[in-house]
Amino acid sequence: MTAAPDADFTRRTQPYRRELLAHCYRMLGSVHDAEDLVQETYLRAWRSFDGFQGRSSVRTWLYQIATNACLTALQHRGRRVLPSGLGAAGHDPAAEPAMAPPGTRWLQPLPDALVTAEAADPASVAVARDSLRLALIACLQYLNGRQRAVLLLRDVLGLPAGEVAAILGTSTAAVKSTLQRARARLDEIATAAEQAAAPTEPGQRALLAEYMAAFRNSDAAALERLLHRDAVIEMPPFQTWFEGKRTCVAYLVAQVLGAPGDWLLYPTRANGQPAAVAYLRETPGPYRAFGVAVLTTTADAVTRIAAFCDPELVTLFGFPSEISDTAARDGAAAVLEHVRAEPFPGGSATAR
């Protein structure tokens, strides 16, 4: 086989890498799996580039490869979940949270910075963020692979039914039927809160700043003011989750907040939502990476905290694995002021 000219291949395919990563993430619910499948997509495309005859656009051709690679991967993997998808909410905020059974496949948050270019059109960014909301990705996990693919290709990417049929090797009628079933299933699963439009970005910034300050100061009263009366908190890999402002605050006070200065949080964005990377200092010494909290908000309250307790996610979002006490003292106030006044850094290592 004659090797594809690298420069021409890169020029024609590289502009689609970010959106293909977003597509694979929507299909799979895992940023790590999505990155692997994008790599596989580009490898397959490179190997067959000489034979690409332009019967479709390069973009559609890449989506065909990526979508079918995702469908193959889904044949061997169960759905990814959040704790609220595993059972009823807990009732004793003072009890030790239960770990999920071994082998539970968790949904992962996606850094906005991986899929949103800095120079992207603001309208396109808004559409991309809305289609990456954590609640939507969780709902998509209840669709089978083919339903996910049709729904995403038609409703998110806006491809014509005939083009989707060609990508999936099926008929236009089958695409329309599958889309109808997928939409009906989503309507059954999604709550009104999950379907509600997100507040403006300045409002999100203000709520995030208040959330970070409350943790840093171990301020239970501030969290109580911040949380919606029906707020939910869930903490993968713990199976236990809580709902209701009173229960959530009681849990945070009993088992999480600790003393002022134990926690250090920095702003970022995940799944088109305000988020914070979290560091914890349990003994004198540096703050060590703890995980990432993704917030769902209304105009004036936090309705859900998805706190992913995984230190590796902190570095995935572009932050260091630990921060010295000196750096924390020098930078915390400035960072809190920054998140009120500036756009989200979206994965930049603000803490460094």
Tokens of 170: 């099926």
pLDDT score, position 203: 83
Q: How far is CA 317 from CA 71, 269, 327, in A?
A: 27, 9, 19
pTM over 0.75: yes
3-state secondary structure 22-59: HHHHHHHCCHHHHHHHHHHHHHHHHHHHHHCCCCCCHH
Nearest by Cα to 277 from 199, 200, 346, 231? 346
Domains and CATH numbers, the chain: 79-135+198-342 (3.10.450.50)
As a whole number of angstroms, the distance between CA 343 and CA 112 comes to 12
Over the stretch 221-278, which tens digit does the pLDDT of each residue have? 999 999 999 999 999 999 999 999 999 999 999 999 999 999 999 999 999 999 999 9
Which pLDDT score is estimated for 328?
Answer: 75
Residue-level pLDDT at 256: 95
Q: In this predicted structure, what is the pLDDT of residue 37?
A: 97
What is the structure's pLDDT at 196? 52
- Say whether pLDDT at 335 is over 50: no
pLDDT tens digits for range 120-179: 666 666 667 788 999 999 999 999 999 999 999 999 999 999 999 999 999 999 999 999
User: Which comes out higher in pLDDT, residue 255 or 50?
Assistant: 255
Tokens of 99: 């770990």
Whole-number pLDDT of residue 342: 42
One-letter amino acid for residue 318 of the chain: G
- Residue 340 above 50 pLDDT? no
- Taking 70 as the threshold, does the pLDDT of residue 4 lie above it? no
Question: What is the predicted pLDDT for the residue at 6?
Answer: 81
Q: What's the pLDDT at 301?
A: 94
Bridge partners (DSSP) listed for residue 292? 277, 308
**Strands, E assignment, the chain:** 227-234, 241-243, 263-270, 273-280, 287-297, 302-308, 322-323
pLDDT digits (tens, 9 = 90+) for 196-214: 556 677 888 899 999 999 9
**Higher model confidence: residue 61 or residue 3?**
61
- Is residue 26 within 8 Å of 133, Cβ to Cβ? no
Provide the pLDDT for residue 22. Answer: 96
Share of the chain above pLDDT 90, in %: 71
**pLDDT tens by residue, 58-100:** 999 999 999 999 999 999 888 899 999 999 999 999 999 999 9
Strands (E), 271-325: 273-280, 287-297, 302-308, 322-323
Sequence-distant (6+) residues with CB within 8 A of 17 are: 38, 42
> What's the token pair of residue 226?
């911040």
The predicted structure's pLDDT at residue 116:
84
Q: Predicted confidence band at 195 (pLDDT cuts at 50, 70, 90)?
A: low
CA distance 30 to 285: 33
- When mean pLDDT is compared across 104-118, 226-240, 305-319, 322-336, the lowest value belongs to 322-336
Nearest to 29 by CA among 104, 106, 103: 106
Strands 322-323 and 302-308: unpaired
Q: 119 pLDDT exceeds 60? A: no
